Amino acid sequence: MNVVTQIFTIIARVLTGLSFLVIIGAVLTQLAGRSGIITSMVWTEELTRFALLYLAAFGVGLSYRSGNLVNVDIVSEALPAKLAWALRLICAIITCAFGLMLIKATWLYVSIGARQTAPSLNIRMDYIHAAVLVALLSLSLFAALRIIGMLARTTDGTPERPAESLGEE
């Protein structure tokens, strides 16, 4: 189970990093255009916004895994260990179920974008709207991995810090 989690973590990190590289490239192109080094390109701002959406979409699962999303740790930390474990499991189940319940409505939202295009990039908006679907899938996937890990007793459900997720201790 840990291997599967590590594989999905690596994939999410790579895709988050690629999204960030797109943002860096677009912003550098914007700066060069505004400085007069090259001709100003109108598409860079739009590309930056779209890449930021995907950066968040790929990163939300990683944030859930590392505990960087909003948590109410003060409650679970005050509980006895078994009760805290149960609370973390219930929260992971709710998170996964909520994400999965929204997939159908999100798919409709994404499909509506097939009839629209981004003004300067001329990209179909369903590719852009798909970032919302990716975010739900990412969050649901990492919540499901936490549930499976907790039930298999390979994890206690506490957020994993980046050094722990890389196997470094």
- Write out pLDDT tens, residues 124-169: 999 999 999 999 999 999 999 999 999 999 888 888 766 544 554 4
3 state DSSP class of 124: strand
Instruction: State residue 68's pLDDT score.
Output: 81
Instruction: State residue 169's pLDDT score.
Output: 44
Q: How far is CA 140 from the centre of its chain?
A: 10
Q: How many structural domains compose the chain?
A: 1
Give 115's DSSP letter.
G
- The mean per-residue pLDDT over the stretch 27-33 comes to 93
- Write out pLDDT tens, residues 60-104: 999 998 888 777 677 777 888 899 899 999 999 999 999 999 999
Rounded Cα distance between 126 and 122, Å, is: 12
Rounded Cα distance between 96 and 89, Å, is: 11
Average pLDDT across the chain, whole number:
89
Instruction: State residue 167's pLDDT score.
Output: 52
Give 114's DSSP letter.
G
Q: Which residue has the higher pLDDT, 70 or 10?
A: 10
**Contact present, 113 and 38 (Cβ < 8 Å):** no
Distances (CA, A) of 96 to 32, 138, 161: 43, 10, 20
3 state DSSP class of 117: strand
| Portion of the chain with pLDDT greater than 90, in percent | 66
Range of the domain at 138: 2-165
Rounded Cα distance between 82 and 80, Å, is: 6
